[in-house]
Structure 1
């Protein structure tokens, strides 16, 4: 969903550079190209994949908010698959980011700038603009959202500011069908931040650089936890992070991280992609596709990253803005009677409006925030040439 938009140096992908030093270099006709050799930081399909995943989530939510259903592949919601794809790519790219940066503190600063400014402004826009408009649409005064009930607009900003979303409703406003959630897509961001913390711990303990096999062991452990949870052997009753969603997101995120760490040995084969697609399709008919298909799904994501022909890296990254703003737009459209347009028009109008807000978010908030990524005290600045580049995230 995200990225900071600055030029990337052309560098080897894996922590240990592949022979030949560039994508595809040194690969003979009989050799199988590895992920490290196939990945070009300046020419890949990451931007298209992230924006595509954000669009799938937005479409799924539009149909859910406006018409009460979501598109599924078997038993698996397509929106869930798209969010999992975000986490796979995020694990790959955030791990790369940690290993390219000079200090753990810089990593934390970059991650903060990529998530929090846009998130905070989204909260404020929802409270100061979306909520008053919603009040007018249900026949109330705009100012009532700041005083009515136990969940006023000002509280929405305050209690959600730390990232976990503790208040979804504002001033008791609800549509005729009962929909009252103002932004139902923000809840995944706390898990994204948690996964960043996992990378930070693995990085400062030198696991990422020296003991990459430990990451595979953790992947297996999280997968085993997922299996046990779905067998009913791990009951989750602790609020916030300690629940089955943590296992879900941590598994796909760490598989993306492992994809980066083992990029020098992961083959890029069309036959593997086809087999992975078959496994993912079969797993989609289970209650949780990740139990059998998580690894295959992660492979499809990184395969698409280097093999899809849509290798376009725009200067504006709209994926994050589209992700955080589409739901408030859809709620306003619902309150305005937009479902009378029909599902196709409702989806297209909400998607277009959300993209406009995403563009404004990039120009006014996200882009300026990311230009501060190297702003730190002189004592913390590393010597030598600047090594920072875009840290493309979910």
Structure 2
């Protein structure tokens, strides 16, 4: 029996929630990027860590919905189109705008910028595959509280795309699509894997990719699990409240792994909030959260280059926010939305004129 209603893809505030989460990451980074002590956190993780968890929960729900409704080829085209063009443009902007400014401020000129390790070209080439192998460009940023990293937010995108691939693979099997239990079991296994990470580290030589993936995968599969149960368990306020309480309780009692173990509850609670949280129309039509996420750290570092880090946490956050929003909007309007519209037109081509149909 269905409890509540399935999530309405149009009547929700997920764009707003993602935007809030992106700004929480900006707020979180303000402590290390200014060198300020006393960063707030909850249940053994930072504000940014929980914000990223929320991103992965939402993504797990929406990406699984995309995989279940598309063939493998179309699904992969959509996922690459959504994440890669804006990411590549961001890398180019780091090299062409941010790093030259930081290099000039530190050295008084741009002499040697193109050849100083990590060279701009090396930064672009080595990071094109989403895995961030270099964070500095020509040894910049320098003379800041957190030197040597222009964009510390980008590391999660590699693991986000790894989650996309996992869903792409399991979606090939008909029995996975027919029953909610395979995805549910995968979620449980991923949570157990994170809880038993010390054991896995002995088997993987403490591979950092395993560590980071298992930190994020349970949240993604938590969202996926909520999706596969959608026809049996809809969104209802009683379950929303219960999941909120359960996720808070489990995370608090088991700070090392409780968040991942409650990934399904976190995902359900987030989706439930999206059913009643009001969302401005401009945000409903324009999703700038990805742009905020991929540019905020760089603007924070640029602000630090010019001494804004010494002004205090709140001014630092405000300056970075004012700088980030227009760039995020430009990324959405000029890169992300045009690419996605082109992909959707590919999925649903315009009908041919009658004359062409007859001639064909």
- Normalised by the length of structure 2, the TM-score is 0.88
Q: Note if 1:315 corresponds to 2:285.
A: yes
Aligned with 1:349: secondary structure? helix
C-alpha distance after superposition, 1:100-141 (max 9, x if no partner): 23x221111111110000000000000111000011222342
Give the C-alpha shift of residue 183 in structure 1.
0.4
**Other-structure match for 1:24:** none
Q: Which residue of 2 aligns with 1:369?
A: 339
Deviation of residue 177 (structure 1)?
Answer: 2.9
Query: Hey, what's the Cα distance between the residues in 1 that align with 2:194 and 2:259?
Result: 8
Distance 1:160 1:117, change over 3 A: same
C-alpha distance in structure 2 between counterparts of 1:88 and 1:248, whole Å: 12
Q: 1:152 aligns with which of 109, 119, 128?
A: 119
Q: Distance in 1 between matches of 2:270 and 2:223?
A: 9
1:1-394 alignment runs, 5 A limit:
32-34=3-5, 36=6, 39-69=7-37, 70-101=39-70, 103-148=71-116, 150-173=117-140, 174-229=142-197, 232-235=198-201, 236-237=204-205, 239=207, 241=209, 243-282=210-249, 283-284=251-252, 286-310=255-279, 312=281, 313-374=283-344
Q: Quick one: higher RCO (CA 8 Å, sep 6+), 1 or 2?
A: 1
In structure 1, what is the equivalent of residue 356 of structure 2? none
* Rounded Cα–Cα distance in structure 1 between residues aligned with 2:76 and 2:257: 32
Conserved 8 A contact 1:62-1:350:
no
The equivalent residue for 1:390 is none
Aligned length: 344
Q: 1:342 to 1:221 in 2, by over 3 A?
A: same
**1:306-356: CA deviations, max 9, x gaps?**
232337453221000000000110101001000232211110110121111
Secondary structure of the residue that 1:198 maps to in structure 2? helix
Greater CA drift, 49-58 or 65-74: 65-74
Q: Which runs of 5+ in 1 are unaligned?
A: 1-17, 19-30, 386-394
Q: Please name the residue that 1:23 is paired with.
A: none
Partners of 1:292 and 1:201 in 2: CA distance: 23
Map Cα deviations across residues 332-391 of structure 1 (whole Å, 9 max, x no partner): 100100023221111011012111110111122112211220465xxxx68999xxxxxx
- What is the CA distance between 1:287 and its match in structure 2? 2.6
CA distance in structure 2 between the partners assigned to 1:83 and 1:176 by the alignment: 25
**CA distance 1:292–1:250, shift in 2 (3 Å):** closer
Contact 1:75 1:287 in 2 (8 A): yes
CA distance 1:384–1:181, shift in 2 (3 Å) = closer
Aligned to 1:15: none
Of the structure 1 ranges 187-196 and 304-313, higher mean CA displacement relative to structure 2 is found in: 304-313
> Which digits, 9 at most, give the CA deviation of each residue in 1:233-291, with x for residues without a partner?
221436563x2111122111111111111012225343433333333333146133325
- What is the distance in 2 between the residues matched to 1:46 and 1:175? 38
Residues 208 and 261 of structure 1 are in contact (CA less than 8 Å); yes or no, is this contact kept in structure 2?
no
3-state SS, counterpart of residue 317 of structure 1: coil
Return the TM-score normalized by structure 1.
0.81
> 1:179: how far off?
2.0
Q: Per-residue deviation at 1:42?
A: 1.5
In structure 2, distance between residues paired with 1:293 and 1:303: 15
Q: CA RMSD in A?
A: 2.3
Q: CA deviation at 1:83?
A: 0.4
CA distance in 1, matches of 2:18, 2:260: 24
